[in-house]
Each structure stands twice: as structure tokens, then as C-alpha cells.
């Protein structure tokens, strides 16, 4: 795949009088811009986090939690950080985190499912998206950020 980006914009471009040098710098700048765009790099060179997942749903049945993550924005390299906690405010001491790799559906949306047998437990859940070298996106809660929903496993 060719790396291309139309247009060139860099400091002092308009002051360059040597045509061949200007043309070479334009090509270099275009390719650098294409790499930055395709690599999801932000203006400071750091990778911007991906968009947050669309929604999260949680079902408990027969001792098994099933978490479904939906995301309408399929971005290459996106993974999810699923967290569960016994505390609605998710203090670091109570968080259990797992990374989930999504699958792309025919509609180009992302979906991921996590299942675990955890009988006689109760948890709050939240999920965020990230790239391997980025920070996480905003968290999406089962329930809401202000009032997460507690999912209780049967005793």
C-alpha cells in the first residue's frame, strides 16, 4: 500500500525559492503526514486514544457473567479494557482488568464478548477502548458513570 497525503504544510515553505528542493521537501512532508494520520498519532506525536465503545451490556445466568461490548467504529488495532469491581467508584484496589480483542462484523462494527464463571459474586462493570501504545478512551459503564449498575450473581 502506498503512503500518500496531498498537500504540504511546513514552516517557511513559501520562502523556499529552489523548486527541486521544495518539491523533495513536499514529498517528504506528505509522506510523514500520511504516516501520522494512518498511525493515529496526535499533534505532539503521541497516539490519540480511539473512540469509546458504544455500549456495554451484562447478563448473569447460571453462575456465568456474559459481557457484550458494542462499538460502531471499527478501527484497526483497537482493543478493549474491561474492568469489574466490587465498588461502584472503581478504586484501584478493587479493580480486576482484562483485555479483550474485538471481532469485526459484516456491518464493519466491532463487537466483543467476555464470559466467566464467577458464582456467588457481584460486580460493577465498565469498558474503554485503546490502541497498544495509547491511553484509554473515556470509560463506558454498565448503567452510567454517575450510577453504575450492580450485577448480582445468584447465591
Please state which of the four CATH numbers 1.10.1240.10, 1.10.3720.10, 1.10.15.40, 2.60.40.2440 is assigned to the domain occupying 55-152. 2.60.40.2440
Q: What is the pTM of this model?
A: 0.70
Tally Cβ neighbours within 10 Å of residue 32.
Answer: 15
Neighbours of 56 (CB within 10 A): 22
In the chain, where are the structural domains located? 1-38, 55-152
Element (H, E) at 60: strand 55-61
Q: What is the pLDDT of residues 77-87, one digit of tens each?
A: 889 999 999 99
**Per-residue pLDDT band at 97 (split at 50, 70, 90):** very high
The pLDDT > 90 percentage for the chain reads 45
Q: Smallest Cα–Cα separation from 86: which of 125, 117, 120, 60? A: 125
Amino acid at each position: 500500500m502506498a503512503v500518500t497525503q496531498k498537500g504540504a504544510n511546513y514552516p517557511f515553505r513559501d520562502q523556499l525559492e529552489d523548486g527541486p528542493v521544495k518539491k523533495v521537501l513536499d514529498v517528504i512532508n506528505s509522506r510523514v503526514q500520511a504516516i501520522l494520520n494512518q498511525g493515529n498519532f496526535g499533534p505532539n506525536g503521541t497516539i490519540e486514544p480511539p473512540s469509546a465503545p458504544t455500549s456495554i451490556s451484562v447478563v448473569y445466568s447460571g453462575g456465568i457473567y456474559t459481557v457484550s461490548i458494542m462499538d460502531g467504529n471499527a478501527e484497526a488495532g483497537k482493543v478493549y479494557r474491561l474492568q469489574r469491581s466490587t465498588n461502584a467508584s472503581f478504586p484501584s484496589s478493587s479493580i480486576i482488568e482484562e483485555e479483550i480483542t474485538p471481532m469485526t462484523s459484516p456491518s464493519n462494527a466491532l463487537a466483543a464478548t467476555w464470559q466467566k464463571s464467577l458464582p456467588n459474586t457481584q460486580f460493577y462493570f465498565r469498558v474503554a477502548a485503546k490502541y497498544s501504545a495509547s491511553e484509554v478512551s473515556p470509560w463506558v459503564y454498565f448503567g452510567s458513570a454517575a450510577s453504575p449498575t450492580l450485577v448480582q450473581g445468584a447465591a
